[in-house]
Structure 1
């Protein structure tokens, strides 16, 4: 009887042990489930060497045949623990390969002989040094993202936020090993709208129990629009402070246009037109940099402009550009002072994005490197991207989408997000005339939060040099400038950008 009981006990112990082993194996398998092998990028034309971390690329397909393209780089530091960061370029209509190629991607691109692919070298200041990062072409119709149903190219702020949130839910299902990592949203220019509207959608999904749960912690916006109606006033104050217009011109405009620049009087129009003439020929994205003039593209754009704008032709001369070629997004509401005109229908004066929006071109910008690389079929094959016959030509900024900015001011959304404890870094290159720091400083101050870190310089790197200035507010809101940077901050100041990016993600004092 005793032997029978002991035998039964032994059997139970064996069964329990086997059950525990099976459960542990299941947990281990689920926790180590890898990213989709078919999305692994094993080589890239133009680069000879080993990737410092794993790269993945491909499409996430949404309902209604929307195919959104992403490029994902696992962190070079600690991919299992480091944050996952989504990067979005602006426009609306600009590809996030702008950020990949020209700003903080894993490679620096060197232009080769005409007809050849650019050469690629590892970027020592890539944001993948300290984070897992997703570059997403959004909305559908931008960059390598496409749909066979072109009606999907008709979109707006709300649809874009919904689609990108659905993309994230599906992406984290594909990459479950990253579901518990801290998650941040980042972007620049018109991503000043993309980022907060998406963040609000993510928070809404968390509260409603969407699965998988996104471990959202905060967001970063660089030189971002907020649609607060202060664009013209901020721009006039900026160009005056930069000594680009005389004090007399500034006072004339301030007197004619009201303190908030809301007037649509003829005096105001002429005062602003005079300022536009003075600024003609400047690089709107960085007033210190030359303006690249593409003779063929410029001529094509000029013939498409309304007659009232064709008089604004530029000198057809290619000025020298930086070794790391330019690429830009432009904001929805501002391009050049040349485009200023009264809008009789709503009694406001606006800046209109006419120049540079035609034929995928961007005023003053040379995007030859990215265009040549991303339209090469061998590159597309390596990226797991659809060929040109399916997804169309890659353009830095596409004009095939029909976009409506319908979300209004971003300030209430920022206030709602930060008041819930989500961290926000609002940074600004201080030589950008497109979305000048003056407007960004004004709206962050207008949030009404108490100052917790008084205006001060911040230091970058081991050389202990002043890299810019910042002001910290309660609710984890920080406004930061980068000294000498233009619209796309990491392009101009890569080392300093990696510095503030790392400290923000790590929760350390900048």
Structure 2
């Protein structure tokens, strides 16, 4: 039979070949065929594995890739990074916007139960969850000297990962590409974006179709972030007017690097007043590490009015706060060396912690085999946030990176949960204003389901600042529906 002048068999080959090529470049063995703890049909394809960054030392970075449930061949590709430094991006995968909601196993040692997440970001985008730098999460090196690193080396390694990843998944090169992350990834995201743009300028192959970036409750600048806490806690009614006025009088707006003992004494009073609060969400109950064996998501002994604080629309309970997003703003950073979260936890600096679900799932040999990760004998025990790495903050303020990227036309969304005390929105609002761009969308509420979901201010050069009402440090965990709403609208270029 002949169709359009060609034999039917040849016509079918011409039609089917592009479809076959869509997944042709995926590496052998990367496709995930089963998810321990989940019973059901996956709404999109999942892939996972390692990309070797340095053949000499055996430095490898682990990724988990979720295709979009909507249109993977056209939807954006988004790289997600968690912070720490030293925290796995399974933080975002397990607790925030990954394809599943996780429920702690009913008996000790049993696997968590997984359910489909109705607000996963893979509803509208292809998601790459990357464990970076090497030594974090499931990433590892054969040479432990690779675990001594910093901002700039991490950005360089992550760029190398992206170039190699897109070589493996060539079919996604035409898709719009964005980089996103939260907390200390407020450093990872701009520095990596700059590496990507520098590579594009130099015509490094493959050329990535980079369009912009997203930062949530992100570490940005020592001065702006460090000076954000006092106005935040006063505005939230956590310290008295009297104490606030004393701090203003003695510190002159310089709370990050006090220049007098009187100022330091007043700041110590502020610290004492807020010491019992959950640093990641001031509305949530605070459970301390020593109580982790008996942690409950909601303490029934609390008054009903308090139990309802921080309620979420998430179908499963929000965990008690887990460490590892960004160091507390008054944490001891010495000679540029950033304390890891386990070190802060041991010192008593980071209460309200619980990472049991992620640890139980990713410590399972069955799970590791299913998701193509090396076993503990190779990577060591899984820690959602590790002190295995020695990390130096060597990139300085991120404001210069933001100015460079946005002035060149790359889009930037800076969002903040407005009840986070770890990286308060007051600092993010202040530094975005300090860039000096013209305001083109005056401060206004944005709406989800006919309710105010937060506030937004838009600047020239595609810089947007946005708050999420009632959310803590990890916004998609507290407000998943609202998070998916602003994420989708922004990526599609629609008004939020």
Query: C-alpha distance in 1, partners of 2:339/2:86?
Result: 16
Query: C-alpha distance in 1, partners of 2:113/2:401?
Result: 42
1:92 corresponds to: 85
2:492 corresponds to: 506
Query: C-alpha distance in 2, partners of 1:323/1:21?
Result: 50
Structure 1 residues 126 and 147: CA distance shift in structure 2, 3 A? same
2:304 corresponds to: none
Q: CA deviation at 1:179?
A: 0.6
Query: C-alpha distance in 2, partners of 1:117/1:357?
Result: 29
1:224 corresponds to: 218
- 1:52 counterpart SS class: coil
**1:165–1:202 Cα contact (<8 Å) kept:** yes
Q: CA deviation at 1:327?
A: 5.5
> 1:98-497 maps to which residues of 2 (within 5 A)?
98-112=91-105, 113-261=107-255, 262-295=257-290, 320=298, 323-326=317-320, 328=322, 330=324, 333-334=327-328, 357-358=344-345, 363-460=351-448, 463-497=449-483
Encode CA deviations 1:47-98: one digit per residue, 9 max, x unaligned.
Answer: 0011100000110011131110000000000000000000000011000000
TM-score, normalized by length of structure 2? 0.88
Figure out how many residues of one structure are paired with residues of the other and give that number: 469
2:311 corresponds to: none
Q: CA deviation at 1:243?
A: 0.3
- 2:250 counterpart SS class: helix
Query: C-alpha distance in 1, partners of 2:374/2:344?
Result: 25
Query: C-alpha distance in 2, partners of 1:210/1:329?
Result: 37
Q: CA deviation at 1:396?
A: 1.4
1:49 corresponds to: 40
2:71 corresponds to: 78
Gaps of 5+ in 1: 1-13, 299-315
Matched, 1:40 2:31: yes
- 1:192 counterpart SS class: helix
Q: CA deviation at 1:280?
A: 1.2
Structure 1 residues 351 and 484: CA distance shift in structure 2, 3 A? farther
Encode CA deviations 1:263-283: one digit per residue, 9 max, x unaligned.
Answer: 331111110111111111210
TM-score, normalized by length of structure 1? 0.86
Query: C-alpha distance in 2, partners of 1:163/1:146?
Result: 13
Query: C-alpha distance in 1, partners of 2:151/2:171?
Result: 30
- 2:108 counterpart SS class: coil
Gaps of 5+ in 2: 300-315
**2:322–2:352 Cα contact (<8 Å) kept:** no
**1:193–1:226 Cα contact (<8 Å) kept:** yes
Superposition RMSD on alpha carbons, in Å? 2.9
The structure having more radius of gyration, on CA atoms, is: 1
Q: CA deviation at 1:363?
A: 2.8
Q: CA deviation at 1:28?
A: 7.5
1:7 corresponds to: none
Structure 1 residues 351 and 95: CA distance shift in structure 2, 3 A? closer
Encode CA deviations 1:349-375: one digit per residue, 9 max, x unaligned.
Answer: x99878863569953121111111100
- 1:251 counterpart SS class: helix
Encode CA deviations 1:144-185: one digit per residue, 9 max, x unaligned.
Answer: 000121000000111000000000000001101101000000
Structure 1 residues 396 and 282: CA distance shift in structure 2, 3 A? same
**2:280–2:473 Cα contact (<8 Å) kept:** yes
